[in-house]
Structure 1
Amino acid sequence: MVNILTLLGHFSRHCRTKAKVMAVFSAVYLLLLPLLAILPFVCLSRRAVSLRRRGEGTGQLPPSPWALPVIGHLHHLVGALPHRAMRDLAARHGPLILLRLGGLPVVVASSAEAAREVMKTHDLEFASRSMSRMVRLCVPDGAEGIIFVPYGDRWRVMRKICTVELLSARRVQSFRPVREDEVGRLLRAVVASTAPPAQPVNLSDLIAVYAADSSVRAIIGSRFKDRDTFLTLMQRHGKLLAKMGLPDLYPSSSLAMLVSRMPGEVKRQWQQAFSFLDTIIREHEENKDANQDKEDLLDVLLRIQREDDDLQAPITTDNIKSVVGDLFGAGGGTVATTLEWIMAELMRNPRVMQKAQDEIWHMLAGKHLVTEDDLSNLHYMHLIIKEALRLHPPAPLLLPRECRSACQVLGFDVPKGTMVIVNAWAIGRDPKYWEQSEEFMPERFEQSKIEFKGSDFNYIPFGAGRRMCPGMGFALANIELALANLLYHFDWKLPQGTKASNLDMREEMGVTTRPLHDLLLLPVLRVPLPVD
């Protein structure tokens, strides 16, 4: 849902030249220096000594690039998106590095071997999420949902609820009518743009609506009247939490909290979003008898709250609201981002597009609509999805973990309390593991047994270990059905004057890492939609 480093991505839009990079760096440096004065020097010095003491023993602390007073290593990340800057730092300093972002110590793992140690060998030591200071304002102790719940009894309860009730294969399958209905709406919206005079369609917008509505209906069962307002609030809230403010950079500084405007904005957004959830929960409670035959995910949570008295850690209404917020943030965003990247890569690679469409048209010849029963036969399409997730994992740095007890990774000491990040994006593009690693080549998975289920650490778009994403099946079901229908019913062309080789593939960091610019394409109807 969030990665506190993503504000650095916003710098990249304004820092395309060296002069601008230095200008931004100077502005940041001059701003922080008077604000924090002598206090940070004292705090950071003490922190460094503490880290070194805890690092003494059979190993040592991971290597670091050169640092500056107060801001630490932040200047190394200015002018590039965090996952790219961290990949470049790892190339110079090694697969495990220690960064100090302001007063925040962060260890970054950028190889499959380092990822294996973090998410398998020492999975228990890294089984808790690292929570920024802003996240803690919104998610107080005991009110966590799925994403930020600390490792322990409540985590075990939440994990069991996810795997058995909320996101099991059976539950995902129960939402098939919702997916097929929303895909129909998506296709009709595309068809509407093909009426003369045909105009390019903003496929990014249409995909985002499809992903959001599919998630809304699965989670709360309907497109409620204030859907747009609520989704806007959730998006703003997620983007705000994805930024890095002074309180996150200097978690032990009261002054940083005092001078920052972020705490007030975060709390205000959180209160507005949760007031909407209070209303939705109240309506579900009032209508629980009428909806027994068609349980949505909120109904499931409320049923468990009412009936399961023997839970190790009973779930509260605040827990339920946090879970619903997590599902909204992780579900729709992952689906929309992945579909955008797939379509962008297909437009850049006409050979792959043609091969995928030939398979679909051959396997489904004569059908009016692609259904989920058809998806298992579309072998090449599944390879395309796997390749897109390798090149464009929706959360390139996954979600940060926290070291619960000191341990060693690749022979280096990782002190207790350190934030640990796994750079899945860098690992997925590492030429050490992948031939022609920057090229979009679905065929690389043709004879490969590599999967994204957490056992192959050179390919971890959904993470691995105890904190692996539990919603993988939910996301893939929405991605596969929409993609198959978009490729079956339409040929796709770039707007006049746009060459495939010049398609802008730059990224924008937010809750997920999506294309910087919306995807504008010209659809040509090939297989008409069935008449209702």
Structure 2
Amino acid sequence: MSLQLGELSYIIREEEVSNLVDSLTAASGEPVDLTRMLSTVTSSITSRAAFGKAQELTDAFMVVIENISDVLAGFRISDLYPSLKLLPALTGFKAKLEKMRKASDSVLDQVIEDHKSRRRAGRNGDGEKEDLVDVLLNLQEKQNLGVPITTEEMFLAGIETSTTVMEWVMSAMINDSRVLQKAQQEVRQVYGGDDGKNHFGEAKLDQLKYLDMVIAESLRLHPPLPLLIPRENRDKNVSFGSYEVSVNTNVIVNAWAINRDPRYWTEAERFFPERFVDCPIDYTSTDLQFIPFGAGRRMCPGVSFGMKIVKLTLASLIFHFDWKLPAGQKNINMTGCFRATLRRQYALHLIPITYGRVLP
């Protein structure tokens, strides 16, 4: 019996985070580009779970993702005048998007064809690890969901979101030594004598309650998508407070402003994880004062998968390492910049010190 997708994802996460720990251990005492390393581990986990062994194809797809992020970054004059339908074409933005779409479709078509070829050759037998594409192909063949599944529904998203969240959390903890020490104390107490990388897994992550609060507070202050994906009012005119939203109007929710609204948050601009002590953290709840991933039926579908990557990686980073700023740097610059997500403007460079090691 082939491995279930959930079990495979669990194995992949632990393997890739273990590789990250190895790389940081080898660089102990020296500055590292943690932004690049977090992006690598996130993309490796996601692409392996989705695409399997087609490494050359996953690398090609990651190039496409990076290009899309660059294209979506910054300000466009067509955003200021959305009623002028010709502006995207005149400015070349529409052509760039079309080029990215074709590149993405080309890589995904190759991925799907690679999986179909392996299936025809009988290489998905007992013991073979199934990935997301295999699962979708199985459903496509059986067509027992009542809804046809075509290749257009086979896509990958969320890589940059997870990386962005981890960057902001690490930056916030480095700038607040009290929070970092408290989070480290918790994870090292929970995992106790699990000093080897092979013993550090997901089984005890649910016990890391303070780390949950740290992640939630960082998401509150630095949601990866400050402006949620636009939605169109399609059914009828809707009254909202003193406003009336007409049919076919695009609605954009400012999650950044909601998460910092002083009417709902005491000292709203302060990074204070303890505010969640008596506040259950549920990213899928209907509590609309905290919506880093949206809400309702159309909220981000990859929350569970992405947050597992985030929590395991962060727990590993603060369990296995103490962290220092590069020489001459007193704190982390928290300026953000907008790409596909609201990321840090500057790459995060830190010095990992292997836990228990005394530097000369």
> TM-score if structure 1 supplies the norm length?
0.62
**How far did residue 317 of structure 1 move?**
2.1
**How far did residue 173 of structure 1 move?**
4.7
Please name the residue that 2:284 is paired with.
453
Aligned equivalents of 2:88, 2:334: Cα separation in 1: 37
Gaps of 5+ in 1: 1-169
SS, match of residue 170 in structure 2: helix
Please name the residue that 1:395 is paired with.
225
Please name the residue that 1:299 is paired with.
134
**How far did residue 352 of structure 1 move?**
0.5
Residue-by-residue CA offset, 1:205-238 (whole Å, 9 max, x unaligned): 1000001111100111136124333211122124
Contact 1:220 1:296 in 2 (8 A): yes
Please name the residue that 2:312 is paired with.
481
SS, match of residue 252 in structure 2: strand
Please name the residue that 1:285 is paired with.
116
**How far did residue 294 of structure 1 move?**
2.0
Counterpart of 2:258, as a letter, is: I
Contact 1:462 1:468 in 2 (8 A): yes
**How far did residue 454 of structure 1 move?**
2.8
SS, match of residue 204 in structure 2: helix
1:385 equivalent to 2:215? Answer: yes
Please name the residue that 1:439 is paired with.
270
SS, match of residue 341 in structure 1: helix
Residue-by-residue CA offset, 1:330-381 (whole Å, 9 max, x unaligned): 2x11110010000000000000001111112222221123210121222211
Counterpart of 1:341, as a letter, is: W
1:185 equivalent to 2:19? Answer: yes
**1:247 to 1:447, Cα distance in 2 relative to 1, 3 A:** closer
**1:439 to 1:250, Cα distance in 2 relative to 1, 3 A:** closer
**How far did residue 257 of structure 1 move?**
5.0
Please name the residue that 1:517 is paired with.
346
Q: Point out 4+ residue stretches in structure 1 off by more than 6 angstroms.
A: none
Number of aligned positions between the proteins: 346
Larger radius of gyration: 1
1:205 equivalent to 2:32? Answer: no
Counterpart of 2:334, as a letter, is: M
**1:247 to 1:411, Cα distance in 2 relative to 1, 3 A:** closer
What's the RMSD between the two structures over aligned residues?
A: 2.1
Aligned equivalents of 1:498, 1:224: Cα separation in 2: 38
**How far did residue 466 of structure 1 move?**
1.5
**How far did residue 450 of structure 1 move?**
4.9
Residue-by-residue CA offset, 1:250-304 (whole Å, 9 max, x unaligned): 5564643552222222222221221111111111001124235422111111111
Please name the residue that 1:336 is paired with.
163
Counterpart of 2:264, as a letter, is: Y
Counterpart of 1:496, as a letter, is: A
Aligned equivalents of 2:237, 2:7: Cα separation in 1: 42
1:418 equivalent to 2:249? Answer: yes
Contact 2:57 2:111 in 1 (8 A): no
Counterpart of 2:210, as a letter, is: Y
**How far did residue 490 of structure 1 move?**
0.3
**How far did residue 246 of structure 1 move?**
5.4
Aligned equivalents of 1:255, 1:488: Cα separation in 2: 53
Aligned equivalents of 1:252, 1:363: Cα separation in 2: 56
Please name the residue that 1:499 is paired with.
330
Contact 1:387 1:440 in 2 (8 A): yes
**How far did residue 432 of structure 1 move?**
1.1
SS, match of residue 393 in structure 1: coil
SS, match of residue 216 in structure 2: helix
**How far did residue 457 of structure 1 move?**
0.7
Aligned equivalents of 2:18, 2:24: Cα separation in 1: 10
Equivalent residues in 2 for 1:111-510 (5 A)? 171-194=5-28, 198-222=29-53, 224-241=55-72, 245=76, 253=84, 255-288=86-119, 289-291=122-124, 293-308=128-143, 311-312=146-147, 314-320=148-154, 324=155, 327-328=156-157, 330=158, 332-367=159-194, 368-369=196-197, 370-404=200-234, 405-500=236-331, 503-510=332-339
